[in-house]
Each structure stands twice: as C-alpha cells, then as structure tokens.
C-alpha cells in the first residue's frame, strides 16, 4: 500500500472518519482498529446518557463495520487505566466500575454482540484483561 503501514488505530476521544476513509482502507489493504469516542475519564450510567450512547454507537457500527478493513472495535481508550489517575475513582471504585460496566460491557458490548458478533470487541485499550468470560469478570488494578 502507498502508506507503508498495515494498521491504523483510531482511538476514542477523537472522531469517526468519513466513509471515504474506510473505502480507501478497503481498497489499499489497510486494517482499522476503531474505538468508540470515549477516552481518559469516567463516564456516567444514567438512563438518558446510555440511550444517547446506544443510538450513536448503533449508527456508527452499522455505518462502519461492513468495511473489511475494520477488524476490531474498542469501547474506549484508557478509561480503565484512568481509574488510577483521579481521586474520585481511586476512593470510590465500586461506583465507577459499576458505571464502567454499564457503559462499556452492557451497553456498547451488547451492541457489538447484537450487530457484529463475529468481530473482536475490546472494552478498553489498554486493559488488564479478564478473569472470566462466563460470567464476564474484568481484572481491575
């Protein structure tokens, strides 16, 4: 390919690229690691917020995922890691891990299972990984 790379990483906190970008990647053999637009901070789990997220993510997954260049979806960039950065998340981890799970595991992860079940979904990048997938238990810390 003309860029001399094979993987492009679009981290959360940025923006979703236009269709022409994904078409270019498809045509030139580039792989895309696409994240939803969350990064470096805790997020709430209120009903209105989660419904808004659900609508946005469903629209983007439907728009982008059919491209063969998109091989992986990430839920966020550094949100899991950010729990060590803020006093609030350090002192009330049960609240923030519950918020995290509602957003990145239940809501966004659920969308990925429904709409693109064969595609890899990582809830956070980087991540400490999982203890178990059934039941789903994250490795925190």
> Which is the catalytic residue, given 35, 78, 80, 133?
78
What is the SS3 assignment for 69-136? CEEEEECCECHHHHCCCCHHHHHCHHHHHHHHHHHHHHHHHHHHHHHCCCCEEECCECCCCEEEECCE
Q: Which of 81, 132, 82, 136 has its CA nearest to residue 113?
A: 136
Residue 55 annotated among the catalytic residues of the structure: no
Which residues face 109 on adjacent strands?
none
Q: Which residue numbers are catalytic?
A: 78
């Amino acid at each position: 390919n003309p860029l001399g790379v094979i993987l492009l990483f679009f981290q959360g906190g940025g923006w979703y690229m236009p269709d022409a970008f994904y078409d270019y990647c498809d045509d030139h053999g580039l792989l895309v690691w696409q994240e939803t637009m969350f990064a470096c901070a805790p997020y709430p789990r209120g009903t209105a917020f989660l419904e808004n997220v659900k609508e946005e993510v469903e629209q983007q997954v439907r728009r982008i995922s059919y491209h063969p260049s998109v091989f992986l979806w990430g839920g966020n960039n550094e949100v899991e890691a950010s729990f060590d950065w803020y006093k609030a998340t350090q002192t009330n981890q049960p609240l923030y891990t519950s918020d995290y799970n509602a957003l990145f595991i239940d809501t966004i992860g659920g969308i990925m299972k429904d709409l693109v079940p064969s595609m890899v979904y990582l809830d956070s990048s980087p991540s400490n990984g999982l203890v178990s997938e059934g039941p789903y238990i994250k490795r925190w810390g």
